[in-house]
A and B are shown apart, each in its own frame.
Chain A
Amino acid sequence: MGEKLLQVENLRKWFTIEGDTWFAKNQSVVKAVDDISFYINKGETLGLVGESGCGKSTAGRVILQLLEATEGEILLEGENLAALSTRQLKNKRKDMQIVFQDPYASLNPRLKVRKIIEEPMTIHLKLSKEERMEKVKQILHDVGLNEAYMDRYPHEFSGGQRQRIGIARALAVQPKLIIMDEPVSALDVSVQAQVLNLIQDLQAKYGLTYLFITHNLSVVKHISNRIAVMYLGRIVEIANRDHFFEDTKHPYSKALISAIPEPGSKHRRERIILKGDLPSPVNPPSGCHFHTRCPFVMERCITEVPDLVDVGESHFVACHLHNE
Chain B
Amino acid sequence: MNGSVGISQETVTVSSIEKQTWRNNASWKRFKKNKLALFGAFILLFLLFVAAISPLVAPYDPYVSNVNELGGYDVLAPPSSEHLLGTDSLGRDMLSRIIYGGRVSLSVAFVAVMIATVTGIILGVIAGYYGKWVDTLIMRITDVVICFPVLFLAITVATILKPSLFNVMIIIGLVSWTTMTRLVRGEVLKLREMEYIEAAKAMGQRNSIIIFRHILPNILAPIVVQATLQTAEAILTESALSFLGVGVQQPVPSWGNMLNEATSIMVLQFKPWVWAPAGFAILLTILSINFVGDGLRDAMDPKVKN
- Chain A positions within 8 Å of B, measured between CB atoms, are 61, 64, 66, 89-91, 93-94, 96-98, 100-102, 105-111, 119-120, 123-124, 141-146, 148-149, 151, 153, 155, 160, 166, 169, 173, 193-195, 197-198, 201, 204-205
B194-216 contacts to A (CB < 8 Å): 194-196, 198-205, 213-214
Give the interface segment out of B4-12, B178-186, B271-279.
B4-12
Given A90-B204, A108-B214, A195-B6, decide whether A98 and B12 contact each other with a Cβ distance below 8 A.
no
Known: A110-B217, A120-B203. A98 touches B198 (CB 8 A): yes
- What residues of A have a CB within 8 angstroms of the CB of B226 in the complex? none
Min distance, Cβ B137 to any Cβ of chain A, angstroms: 16
Tell me the minimal C-beta distance from B129 to chain A in angstroms. Answer: 15
The reply to whether the CB of B251 lies closer than 8 angstroms to some CB of chain A is no
Contact of A119 among B1, B17, B203, B217 (CB under 8 A): B203
Which size class do B's interface residues fall under? 20 to 34
Known: A106-B196, A197-B6. A66 touches B201 (CB 8 A): yes
* B3 CB–A CB distance under 8 Å: yes
| Known contacts A146-B12, A148-B14; A109 and B303 CB within 8 A of each other | yes
Does B218 belong to the interface (CB within 8 Å)? yes
Is A123 in contact with B205, judged by CB distance below 8 angstroms? yes
Could you tell me if A144 and B205 are in contact, using CB atoms closer than 8 angstroms? Answer: no
Q: Are A155 and B7 in contact (CB under 8 A)?
A: no
Chain B residues lying within 8 Å of A142, measured Cβ to Cβ, are: 3
CB of A72, distance to nearest CB on chain B (Å):
19
* Given A109-B303, A110-B218, A198-B5, residue A93 in contact with residue B14 (CB < 8 A): no
Asked whether B71 is an interface residue with its Cβ less than 8 Å from the other chain, the reply is no
> Does chain A have a CB within 8 A of B302?
yes
CA A107 to CA B205, docked complex, whole Å: 15
Interface mask (B81-122 → A, CB under 8 Å = 1, otherwise 0): 000000000000000000000000000000000000000000
Q: Is the CB of A100 within 8 A of B5?
A: no
Question: Are A141 and B199 interface neighbours, CB within 8 A?
Answer: no
The docked-state distance in angstroms from the alpha carbon of A122 to that of B84 is 63
Q: Which residues of A contact B217 (CB under 8 A)?
A: 110
Known: A97-B203, A105-B195. A144 touches B4 (CB 8 A): yes
Given contacts A144-B7, A149-B12, contact A98 B202 (CB under 8 A): yes
Q: Are B3 and A144 in contact (CB under 8 A)?
A: yes
B201 and A144 contacting across the interface, CB-CB below 8 Å: no
The answer to whether A155 and B302 have CB atoms under 8 Å apart is: yes
- Secondary structure dominating the interface of A: helix
Least distance between A142 CB and chain B CB atoms (Å): 4
Query: Across the interface, do A105 and B194 meet the contact criterion of CB distance under 8 Å?
Result: yes
**Chain A residues whose C-beta falls within 8 Å of the C-beta of B6 in the assembled complex:** 144, 193-195, 197-198
Partner of A146, one of B9, B196, B302: B9
Please tell me if the beta carbons of B202 and A97 are within 8 angstroms of each other in the complex: yes
Write 6 A-B pairs (CB below 8 A) sorted by A numbering. A110-B218, A120-B203, A124-B204, A151-B14, A155-B302, A195-B6
Given A107-B196, A204-B1, A194-B7 contact (CB < 8 Å): yes
Question: When chains A and B are docked, how far (Å) is the Cα of A163 from the Cα of B15?
Answer: 25
Decide if A66 touches B205 in the complex (CB within 8 Å). no
Query: Which residues of chain B have C-beta atoms less than 8 A from A101's C-beta?
Result: 195
Contact A201 B199 (CB under 8 A): no
Q: How far is the CB of A54 from chain B (nearest CB, A)?
A: 20
The residue in chain A whose Cβ has the minimal distance to the Cβ of B300 is A110
- Chain B residues with CB under 8 Å of A120's CB are 203
Contacts of A204 in B (CB 8 A): 1
For A195, give the chain B residue with the smallest CB separation.
B6
A106 nearest CB neighbor, chain B only: B195
Q: How far is the CA of A108 from the CA of B213 in the complex (A)?
A: 9
A201/B205 in contact, CB under 8 A: no
Write the nearest CB–CB distance from B63 to chain A, whole angstroms.
49
Taken together as a complex, chains A and B put the C-alpha atoms of A275 and B42 apart, in Å, by 68
Q: Which residue of A lies closest to B200 (CB)?
A: A119
Interface hits, B1-37 → A, CB 8 Å: 1, 3-7, 9-12, 14, 17
Q: Report the bound CA distance from A224 to B218 in whole Å.
A: 37
- One of A119, A144, A194, A201 near B9 (C-beta < 8 A): A144
Chain B residues near A141 (CB, 8 Å)?
3-4
The 8 A-B pairs of least Cβ separation, nearest first, read: A194-B6, A93-B204, A142-B3, A106-B195, A90-B204, A100-B195, A120-B203, A144-B4
**What residues of A have a CB within 8 angstroms of the CB of B199 in the complex?**
98, 100, 106, 166, 169
Q: In the complex, which residues of chain B have a beta carbon less than 8 angstroms from the beta carbon of A144? A: 3-7, 9
